[in-house]
């Protein structure tokens, strides 16, 4: 079964390796995503996030650009196996020629430093999806979690008061104009609804699950799932144990993933569901430990009575529909 994954943090891990003096090869490595694993998982496209932690003592824009540089080095090293895509035609060409497609995204809109010019430059470098926040307040918006603040770390209440700032409203308008998908994963509940009420095009939650099954604020309420579905967007199923399993000792299992998939399908319809692994950003007890194990999830969805058509939509067809619109 072909796979499109809306989110991984592999580039951040390549950068961390560089700072440790360790060169990590995208071709084959100890991470959850490399070319060998993507081939075994039968991937069509992997979204590679430029992840920025505003709590780190580094310039956030430089951090993003360092990851762009590592991404480009990897694309040059393996041109016959994987290639960056910025247009729908490039994706179709890669598929025809048997190459994996790689799409750049941003996880933390604060790397733009509140400057629309930076957003446009990132677009010119190939970024086509961006979360407005990670876990810190920035120039654009507020998140649902704030590390180090005991009042705002899970299990905390969702932030239903602080949403998008004026600069955030400017950014989502420019993102829609450019053709860049707005990603609401990590955004506060109030921010989610600001996006919904101030945009017209589809938007996504690239790596979020159902809050009704696991009450973490990183997950989506039923109303949010319906809003994404009504707009023609996507929810990317996240493999992180803490977003799947509400127990004191959470496990990431394909059974729990399938349960979240079934719930989201029943609330928003099958067309709003995709995959957003969060690989190389998650650890712990993972039944599906890396990108080569996607056939396990396929088998579990069949066991839980998903049809072939539904599984194809979750694994790649829904993402293809949304990406075709944004990459046009």
What does the pLDDT look like over 68-109, one tens digit per residue? Answer: 999 999 999 999 999 999 999 999 999 999 999 999 999 999
- Beta strands 82-84 and 181-183, pairing class: unpaired
Q: Looking at residue 153, what is its pLDDT?
A: 47
The pLDDT > 70 percentage for the chain reads 97
Q: Looking at residue 172, what is its pLDDT?
A: 98
Residue 51 has pLDDT above 50, yes or no: yes
Q: How far apart are CA 284 and CA 242, in angstroms?
A: 9
pLDDT classification of 156: cutoffs 50, 70, 90? confident
pLDDT classification of 25: cutoffs 50, 70, 90? very high
Q: How far apart are CA 318 and CA 315, in angstroms?
A: 8
Q: How far apart are CA 65 and CA 54, in angstroms?
A: 15
pLDDT tens by residue, 218-275:
999 999 999 999 999 999 999 999 999 999 899 999 999 999 999 999 999 999 999 9
Residue 149 has pLDDT above 60, yes or no: no
Query: What CATH superfamily classification does 3-327 receive?
Result: Metal-dependent hydrolases (3.20.20.140)
The pLDDT > 90 percentage for the chain reads 94
Q: Looking at residue 152, what is its pLDDT?
A: 47
Q: Between 60-77 and 10-19, two packed helices, what is the crossing angle to 10 degrees?
A: 100
Residue 67 has pLDDT above 60, yes or no: yes
pLDDT tens by residue, 266-322:
999 999 999 999 999 999 899 999 999 999 999 999 999 999 999 999 999 999 999
Q: How far apart are CA 328 and CA 319, in angstroms?
A: 14
* Cβ–Cβ under 8 Å, residues 168 and 145: no
Report domain extents, the chain: 3-327
DSSP E strands, 6-145: 43-51, 82-84, 100-107, 127-131
Residue 56 has pLDDT above 50, yes or no: yes
Q: Looking at residue 328, what is its pLDDT?
A: 76
Q: Looking at residue 326, what is its pLDDT?
A: 86
pLDDT classification of 146: cutoffs 50, 70, 90? low
Average pLDDT, the chain: 96
pLDDT tens by residue, 161-207:
999 999 999 999 999 999 999 999 999 999 999 999 999 999 999 99
Q: Looking at residue 14, what is its pLDDT?
A: 98
Distance of CA 137 to the CA centre of its chain: 19
Q: 47 has which bridge partners?
A: 103
Residue 155 has pLDDT above 70, yes or no: no
């Amino acid at each position: 079964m072909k796979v499109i994954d809306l989110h991984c943090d592999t580039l951040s891990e390549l950068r961390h390796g560089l700072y440790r003096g360790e060169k990590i090869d995208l071709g084959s490595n100890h991470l959850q995503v490399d070319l060998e694993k993507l081939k075994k998982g039968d991937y069509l496209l992997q979204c590679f996030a430029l992840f920025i932690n505003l709590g780190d003592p580094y310039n956030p824009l430089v951090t993003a650009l360092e990851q762009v540089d590592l991404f480009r080095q990897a694309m040059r090293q393996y041109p016959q196996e994987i290639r960056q895509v910025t247009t729908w035609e490039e994706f179709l060409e890669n598929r025809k020629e048997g190459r994996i497609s790689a799409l750049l995204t941003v996880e933390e809109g604060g790397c733009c430093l509140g400057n629309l010019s930076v957003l446009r430059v990132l677009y010119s470098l190939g970024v086509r999806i961006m979360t407005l926040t990670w876990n810190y307040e920035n120039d654009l918006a507020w998140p649902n979690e704030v590390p180090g603040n005991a009042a705002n770390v899970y299990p905390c209440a969702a932030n239903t008061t602080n949403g998008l700032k004026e600069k955030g409203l400017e950014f989502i308008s420019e993102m829609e104009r450019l053709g860049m998908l707005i990603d609401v994963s990590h955004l506060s509940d109030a921010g989610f609804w600001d996006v919904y009420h101030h945009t017209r095009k589809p938007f996504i939650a690239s790596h979020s699950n159902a809050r009704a099954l696991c009450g973490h604020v990183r997950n989506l309420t039923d109303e949010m799932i319906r809003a994404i579905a009504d707009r023609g967007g996507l929810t990317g199923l996240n493999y992180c144990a803490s977003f799947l399993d509400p127990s004191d000792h959470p496990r990431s299992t394909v059974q729990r993933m399938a349960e979240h998939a079934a719930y989201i399908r029943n609330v928003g319809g099958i067309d709003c569901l995709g995959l957003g692994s969060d690989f190389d950003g998650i650890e712990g007890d993972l039944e599906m430990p890396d990108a080569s194990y996607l056939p396990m999830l396929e088998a579990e969805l069949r066991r839980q009575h998903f049809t072939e058509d539904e599984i194809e939509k979750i694994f790649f067809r829904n993402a293809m529909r949304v990406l075709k619109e944004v990459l046009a």
